[in-house]
Amino acid sequence: MITNWLSGYMNYSYQELKNTEIHEIIQTAPKNKFTAGLEATPLRGLSFIIDTHYVDKIYTWNTEVDDYILTNARIGYDFEKPNLGCAVSVFNLFDVRHREHPLGEEIGQRILFTLSYNF
């Protein structure tokens, strides 16, 4: 926690897969992944979240899938009564076109509007 209304987080993972029979590194999964973000709740009910993700390149089926960096953002408001909340979330804020698999579709920006009710 940075202040009573602002907190941050980050994580890193490393993965190396090996075929021990032929002593070869398998590169179908990213070796490095990193995430960092901030969450702010400056006013009662109001929240902001922004985070960035880095995913390393992979090689699969003799094809390279490039590394990429994504930034996501969310602004939301939770009403005290009647336990109602709403939010706008943007996946891939800067519209970084990328693929997560060589046969997969190109992924672009997505915007979500959500309404939630807690009971």
- Residue-wise DSSP of the chain: --SSSEEEEEEEEE--EEETTTTEEE-SS-SEEEEEEEEE--STTEEEEEEEEEE--EEETTEEE--EEEEEEEEEEE-SSSSEEEEEEEESTT---B-SSTTSPPB--EEEEEEEE--
Span 22-78, pLDDT tens digits? 888 777 889 999 999 999 999 989 999 999 999 999 988 788 899 999 999 999 999
pLDDT band at 86 (very low <50, low <70, confident <90, very high): very high
- CA angle (53, 55, 58) in 5-degree steps: 170
pLDDT band at 1 (very low <50, low <70, confident <90, very high): confident
Q: What is the pTM of this model?
A: 0.83
